[in-house]
Amino acid sequence: MIVRGTITVPGDKSITHRALLFAALSRGSCLISGALTSLDARSTAAVLRRLGVGVGALRRGARVRVVAPEALSAPDGPLDCGNSGTTARLGLGVLAGHPFRSTLTGDRSLRRRPMRRVTEPLVLMGAGVEPSERDGLPVTITGGRLRPLRWELPVSSAQLKGALLLAGVVGRVPVRVREPAGRSRDHTERLLRWFGYGVTESDDGWIGLEPDGEVVPFSMAVPGDISSAAFLVAAGTLADEGELRLPGVGVNPTRTGFLDVLRRMGGQVDLENPRIAQGEPVADLVVRPAPLQATQVSGPEIPGLIDEVPVLAVLASRAQGTTVFHEVGELRVKESDRLRLLAENLRAVGVEADAADSTLWVTGDDRPPRGRIVTEGDHRIAMAFEVLGRVRGAAVAVDDLGCAEVSFPGFPAALRAVTGAGR
C-alpha cells in the first residue's frame, strides 16, 4: 500500500454537537462553518428543531445558520437521538433547566446505553426524571429551577461532565464535578470560557463552573476531527511508502492520547502550522509509514483516547510484541460491546487477541489479515478493520461499512483517495 496526497477530514464531532447546542441557547443567529454532517450531528440538529430552534441543513462545505428563540419550547413528541449518546446526554443537561416535559429516545443500540449516570445528578439538581425500566432510554425529563451541584462522576466522561456543566449554564447555578481518573475531552470547558464563564480545574480532578458568563450569538469554524483523522493516520502508518497530509485537524491535548501512544509504538506523525481557533488548538498532521512496537496503554491514558482504542488495536495487530490496553471496560457500553467485538474480529482475521473484564491483549502478526468482520453497526469497528484490510496481501470483508456515516461521511472514498482504489 502506498499513501499519498492531502485530504481534509470532516469537522470534529464533539465540537459540532456543542456548537449546535450553544447556538440554540444564544437567543440569536449563529453561523457555524466546518460542522460535521454525519448522522450523529444530524440527530442533534433534528432534536433542536423539535425544540423550536431554526437549524439549517448540514451540508459539507456549507455554513450552518442556527436561529435560536428566546426560549426553547416543549416538543410535540419524543426526541429521537438516533445512535448519538452525545445528543442524548448533553440534551438531558440542557433540558434539565427548561420548564417542560420531554422524552428522549434513540435506536436500539442507544436505548441500551446507560443514562442513570447522568440522570441521577440531574435529579439532585432539581430535575424530574422518569427513567426507563432498564438503565437506558427512553427517559422522560421535566426541567425547572435547578440547585447547585457537587458531584463525583462514576467514570471520566466528557458526555457526563458536559451534561452537568450545561445544566449549570441553563439553570444559572454553580456546578462542581470531579473526574475519577484521567482528563476527558474538555471542549465544553473551552467553549464556556469563550463565552466568559468562570471555569476552574484543580489537580485532584475537580472542575468548577460559575454561572457568570453569557451565551451570545457567534460565528465559529469547527476544526477537523482527530478521531476521524486517526483512521487515515493509521492507514499512513501501515503503508509501505509515501506521505499523507491532513490539514486543519483539532489537536486539543485531551484528544491527542492516540498520537502519544502511536509515537510510543514508533509511529511518525508531525504537527505543522499550529494555531488556536475559538480556544481550540489546530494543526496540520503529516504521516509517514513506520514499523511498530508493542506498548502498554495505562488506565489514566484511556479517557484521552477512548474512541481511538479500536484503531490502536488494529495498529497493535501489526506491531512486534503484545500490546495491552488496561481499564477499557467503558468500551463495553459504547455503540456495541466494542471490547468483545475487537477481540472476536481480530481473531477472525488471524490475530491473537483476548478481552477479559476491562483489559484487551493484542499480539502483533505480520501475516496478511484475512477474514470477515462483524461490526454490529459500530462505525469505529467498521473503519478500523477497513484500514487493516488495506495492508499488502489482506483480504478483509467488513459486513457494514455504511455505518461509518455516523461519524465520518464519505469514509470509503476518503480512504480510497489516499491509498488508491485497489488493495
- The single residue of 80, 186, 307, 378 carrying the catalytic annotation is 307
* Residues in Cβ contact with 76 at an 8 Å cutoff, skipping those fewer than 6 apart: 50
Of the candidates 353, 351, 314, 306, the one whose C-alpha atom is nearest the C-alpha of residue 332 is: 306
**C-alpha cell at position 59:** 451540508
DSSP string, 279-292: TEEEEEEEEE----
The burial of 149, by beta-carbon neighbours within 10 Å (0-12 exposed, 13-18 middle, 19 or more buried), is given as buried
Lookup result for grid cell 470532516: 10
Report angle CA 405, 305, 324 to the nearest 5 degrees.
115
Region label for 26, one of left (φ > 0), alpha (ψ between -120 and 50) or beta (otherwise): alpha
Q: Which residues of 232-269 are buried (b: 16+ CB within 10 A; e: fewer)?
A: bbbbbbbbeebbbbbbbbbbbebbbbbbebbeebebeb
Residues in the chain: 423
76 carries an active-site annotation = no
What amino acid is encoded at 139 in this protein? V
Lookup result for grid cell 468562570: 198
**C-alpha cell at position 195:** 463565552
φ, ψ of residue 306 in degrees (nearest 5)? -55, -40
Question: Looking at the annotation, which residues are catalytic?
Answer: 307
